[in-house]
A and B are shown apart, each in its own frame.
Chain A
Amino acid sequence: MRERVAMAYQYRLEKVGKVFGRRQIALARIDFVVQRGEKVALIGPSGAGKTSLFRILNCTLRPSSGKLWINGDEIESLHGRRLREVRRKIGTIYQQHNLVPRLKVIHNVLSGRLGRWSAFRSLASLMRPLEVELAWSALKQVGIEEKIFTRTDELSGGQQQRVAIARVLVQDPEVILADEPVSSVDPSLAASIVNLLIDIGRDTHKTLLMNLHSVDLALAYFPRVIGIKNGVALFDLSPDKIDDRLLEDLYSGHLPPSDQEKVAHAESNALAYP
């Protein structure tokens, strides 16, 4: 009986912490449970640990402390082929897009299929793209299908971001982790992309976790919002229970984004492909 309950969890985190090097604490202690099919937004100041959390949730980093279950599997026991199978079912949209700049858009999109393809098929597809229609329809959903054969480093930041989203659509995972998926597009496009991801999540019963710097988007579109600060979850509530005081707490002690920081942010985005 307990097993069956555990299986309904998509994620279960128990005191998860992550320390980089000796003393750079990215996550102090995170506990939460995400049910399958749930839609959760994560908000919090820059450097709070949101990206680090996502990299743990997609099995790139291992927690330095605590335990994490994905779909009932304790991740410490996952290696090799089983690890890859778990990863295949988790699609990540990275904050800095993380595309291969020299490849054409279509190959970056189709790289979402790698978990299903053999090494030989993958190589063959680089010579002559397989499943072109799949890539085309994914790009159409994000509105840049005409760029399908363009080299990826010739795209604008917002276009690259949408290629990264198309890659996840093609991957067709059970979980989508979207780390700032709308940071490089204009506000109206941002809302429609958040909408798109939520729709896709609903229609195909995917679990969706999204990091957002825009509190408005988070509160407007998500039934559950987790506030992260200094590596701990400050609150974990439905949006109607989140008031200005909570938000002030979440972002206080943190300098309001000065011009200097905006410049730094722009630079860090530009540095995605040094």
Chain B
Amino acid sequence: MRSPTLSRIPKSEKSLFSYLFALLFAVAFVDGWRRAEVNPLVFFDAENRGNLWKFISGMFPPDLSSDFLSLMIRPALETIQISVMGTIIAIAIGFPLGILGTRTFSIGGILNEADIQGSPLRRTWRFSAYFAARGLLSLFRSIPEFVWAFMFVRAVGLGPFSGVLAIAVAYGGMLGKVYSEIFEAANERPLEALQSTGASKLQVFIYGWFPQVLPNFVSYTLYRWECAVRASAVLGLVGAGGLGQQIEISMRMFNFHEVLTLLGILFVMVAAVDYISAKVRAML
């Protein structure tokens, strides 16, 4: 079966793929530079420099009057609430779809070999579930949350709920995709052992899969929540509530010093969320 000679060491195949990939990358970079009109020189152009300066100097000093600040408490809280609700619903969407969209869970690998082989009906059923889940996730995340918000504002009206829905759907797609990659990376040996005790797929998931990937799962979800805080600010620009809506109003009124205050509030919020999630991660 195997030759006992030690002198013949099997060579690992060197594929053409890596060279092709490098070439492709080079072409994409050069082409991208040209088409995206990348031009660092714009910053040296006198007129552009003037505009930039006007915008930046207009921001100072930031509006720190207690009147303005107290008015902004509600939108700031609203932004946090949008991001929390949006992320929770996104988990509810992404988690089940992510599980179904995991190849080793649905269709491949050691956990499916015995169950699928010789049963075309099961195979068809599993493949459909897998591709349906993958397809939905792609659809959800290929449309930017900004565009989702635009559509939800038309559908359910101006206000924070549109923002929640936009984050829920777009982030549901992103979470689900990454969850499936995280699940895929789990060590299959313990899963095989669990399955061999007669456990169902769901039980194998509860006992073997989820505990293995829990730290990654939590830290990626928290990271997405951070992004959601920022995103919910942007979504306000299309009328989906929160701080963004205030930023948009101040911009339209050329009240740049208010804009700076709002950006400051946003910065503090993101930093706070970052701090909280670092604490949670350290607990794991």
Chain A residues at the B interface, C-beta cutoff of 8 Å? 25, 47, 55, 58-62, 75-80, 83-92, 94, 96, 98-103, 107, 111-117, 119, 122-123, 126, 164, 167, 171, 230-231, 253-255, 272-274
Contacts and interface: CB of A to CB of B under 8 A. Distances in A.
B190 interface: yes
B45 to A, nearest CB: 54
Interface residues of B, number: 32
A79 B119 contact: yes
Given A60-B192, A92-B193, A102-B212, A111 B115 contact: no
Nearest to A55: B192
14 contacts: A47-B2, A60-B110, A60-B114, A62-B114, A77-B118, A78-B114, A101-B190, A112-B197, A114-B204, A114-B207, A115-B199, A119-B203, A126-B207, A171-B197
Contacts, number: 117
Contacts of A100: 190, 194, 207-208, 211-212
Contact of A122 (B117, B189, B207): B207
B189 A84 contact: no
B135 to A, nearest CB: 25
A111 B189 contact: no
A19 to B, nearest CB: 12
Contacts of B1: 25, 47, 230-231
Interface in B222-274: none
Interface string B169-191: 00000000000000000010110
Nearest to A119: B202
B201 to A, nearest CB: 10
B255 to A, nearest CB: 52
A111 B194 contact: yes
A257 B115 CA distance: 38
B198 interface: yes
A111 B197 contact: yes
B197 A107 contact: no
Contacts of A107: 207
A79 B196 contact: no
B144 to A, nearest CB: 36
Given A80-B115, A126-B207, A114 B2 contact: no
Interface string B108-127: 00100111011100100000
Contacts of A94: 189, 192-193
B197 A253 contact: no
Given A78-B114, A87-B198, A100-B208, 15 more contacts: A60-B192, A60-B196, A79-B115, A79-B119, A83-B114, A87-B197, A92-B193, A103-B211, A114-B194, A115-B197, A115-B198, A116-B198, A117-B203, A122-B206, A126-B206
A164 B194 CA distance: 11
A253 B4 contact: yes
A137 to B, nearest CB: 18
B4 A102 contact: no
A173 to B, nearest CB: 8
Given A79-B122, A122-B206, A272 B189 contact: yes
Nearest to B2: A47
Contacts of A253: 4
Contacts of A119: 200, 202-203, 206
Contacts of B187: 273-274
A62 B212 contact: no
A35 B194 CA distance: 26
Nearest to B188: A98
A116 B197 CA distance: 9
B218 interface: no
